[in-house]
Amino acid sequence: MSIKVLFFASLADLTGMRETEVDSRAHTSVASIYTKFARDFPRLEEHRASLLYAVNSEFVQPDSPVHDGDEVAFFPPVSGG
């Protein structure tokens, strides 16, 4: 009953984590997972306005549902190229 959670770039630095897990039964949306981590790492709130959310390697809206086995990723606007 778990969801894999990935942080990238500044969010990985900020949380000290690249990858962790949460209990899928405790969350109904990707935003609710982010809120959980923002309680432990308040500076995550600074990123919320520009935050990008992905579920299983696809961009989603903050209110998108999450399911057991999903891979959820949080990251700032991309800067490749």
Partner 1 sequence: MFVLVREPIDIQALTRSLVGSEDGAVAVFEGVVRNNSRGKRVLYLEYHAYETMALKKLEEVGTMARERFDIHGIGILHRLGRLEHSECSIAIVVTAAHRGPAFEACRFAIDTLKKIVPIWKKEFYEDGAVWIQGGN
| Cβ closest to partner 1, residue 18 vs residue 67 | 18
Calpha distance 81→27 (Å, rounded): 34
Calpha distance 19→21 (Å, rounded): 7
Stretch touching partner 1 by CB under 8 A, among 3-11, 24-32, 36-44, 61-69: 3-11
Tell me the per-residue interface mask from 41 to 60 with partner 1, x by CB under 8 A, - otherwise. ---------x-x-x--xxx-
Structure tokens at 42: 């308040």
Helix (H) or strand (E) holding 32: helix 30-40
Chain contacts with partner 1 (rule: CB under 8 A): 6, 8-10, 13, 50, 52, 54, 57-59, 73, 75-81
